[in-house]
Amino acid sequence: MEAILLVGGRGTRLRPLTISTPKPLLPTAGAPFLAHQLARAHAAGVTRIVFATSYRAEMFEAAFGTSAHGVELTYVSEREPLGTGGAIRNAAPALTSGPDDPVLILNGDILSGHDVRAQVELHEKAGAAATLHLTKVEDPSRFGSVPTDGQGRVTAFLEKTNNPVTDQINAGCYVFRRSAIDTIPEGEVVSVERETFPGLISSGQVVMGHVEAGYWLDVGTPEAFVQGSRDLVLGRIASPAMPGEPGQRLLLDGAVVSPRAVVRGGTAVGRGAEVEGGATVEGSVLQDGAFVAEGATVRDSVVGRGARVGAGAVLDGVILGDGASVGPGNELRNGLRLWPGIALPPTAVRFSADDS
């Protein structure tokens, strides 16, 4: 089976990490985020993937080439972002599938343990134009709310509304009949969520919902991104692309962790990163070359490439951009983000993003 992978978004909610690297390529549990998706797609029977790229398009081919994790890869880039539906239509000429074949469409920021084969089976059995993976979340207002009838047929698609009709949401993995993709208008900005799905439903086409509860996460926010990496390292979701065994921590080549440091809770320590004695790092991502000095505490945070955390400093729920530096003794909490290269002198601040 072939798939289209949507990876053209700018990942603004993950800035400053996404200034240099698009969201799907951010190091996550020791590998670019997409490596986990590619490996899982391969395990689900996907043999060929068309990347629909836009923002920093060239970086995807540089990262994965023409084949990776058992999947043949090809790339189609939009000059201007065409939206999710426009991107799917734009990538379609690169597919080799026939008109009635199922084609998988994947959002590029989802970690999901659901059974893709079962989703495809439902699609084929129902003779559907499209079949969506649906899951339940606490706050559906940030997602596409998707009600179904007693037979599992999708009755409406309501993208990001204040009053969602159900907590059952679009999980960002679709099976499309190839010919249904070809009905999306070409060369235009189209939202699959706001236009294509509502259009298919109102024109009486069969759109099915495959409801499955297992592990599911959209890594598009800083908290969720850190959680995704942590869950992969801890083995809460299995990934054939993890460069090591699941456990409290994952150390990449050249990582140096003092025997007097505590590094746990699903922390990933990048190449050449260093954690000194007396430091505690929990549930965090230390990118390549990051440095955590003695006695510092880093929790639920991302320390960007070559960024430095000074002695005794505290980071809790913080994003440190590449090369940023936090002087000894500072305390940063709660969603604070430091832009690349910024340097805080010793004990300059005790800041939280709530302090406005």
Residue position matching structure tokens 């990001």: 160
- Helix spans in 168-318 (H): 178-181, 197-202, 222-234
Given a contact cutoff of 8 angstroms between Cβ atoms, the answer to whether 266 and 248 are in contact is: yes
Q: Does 220 bind Mg ion (CB under 5 A)?
A: yes
**How many residues bind to ligand GDD according to rule CB under 6 A?**
27
Spatial distance between the Cα atoms of 300 and 14, rounded to a whole number of angstroms: 14
Whichever of 145 and 325 has its CB closer to ligand GDD, that residue is 145
Q: How far is the CB of 218 from Mg ion (least distance, A)?
A: 4
Best CA proximity match to 318, nearest among 276, 290, 278, 289: 290
Whichever of 109 and 193 has its CB closer to Mg ion, that residue is 109
Q: Does 193 bind Mg ion (CB under 5 A)?
A: no
Q: Does 170 bind ligand GDD (CB under 6 A)?
A: yes
Q: Does 54 bind ligand GDD (CB under 6 A)?
A: yes
Site for ligand GDD in 74-113 (CB under 6 A): 78, 81-84, 87, 107-110
Given a contact cutoff of 8 angstroms between Cβ atoms, the answer to whether 71 and 38 are in contact is: yes
Given a contact cutoff of 8 angstroms between Cβ atoms, the answer to whether 1 and 46 are in contact is: yes
Whichever of 11 and 329 has its CB closer to Mg ion, that residue is 11
Q: Which residues contact residue 246 at a Cβ distance below 8 angstroms, ignoring those fewer than 6 apart?
A: 232, 233, 234, 235, 238
- Helix spans in 239-315 (H): none
Q: Does 174 bind ligand GDD (CB under 6 A)?
A: no
Q: How far is the CB of 35 from Mg ion (least distance, A)?
A: 18
Q: Does 195 bind Mg ion (CB under 5 A)?
A: no
27 bridge partner residues: 32
DSSP state at residue 30: T
Other C-beta atoms lying within 10 Å of the C-beta of residue 256: 13
Q: Is 125 one of the annotated active-site residues of the chain?
A: no
Please give the structure tokens belonging to residue 224. 């969720």
Which partner, ligand GDD, Mg ion, none, binds residue 159 by CB below 5 to 8 Å per kind? ligand GDD
Q: Does 44 bind ligand GDD (CB under 6 A)?
A: no
Q: How far is the CB of 55 from ligand GDD (least distance, A)?
A: 8
**Residues making contact with Mg ion (CB under 5 A):** 109, 218, 220
Residues making contact with ligand GDD (CB under 6 A): 6-9, 52-54, 78, 81-84, 87, 107-110, 143-144, 159, 169-172, 193, 218, 220
Q: Catalytic site residues?
A: 160
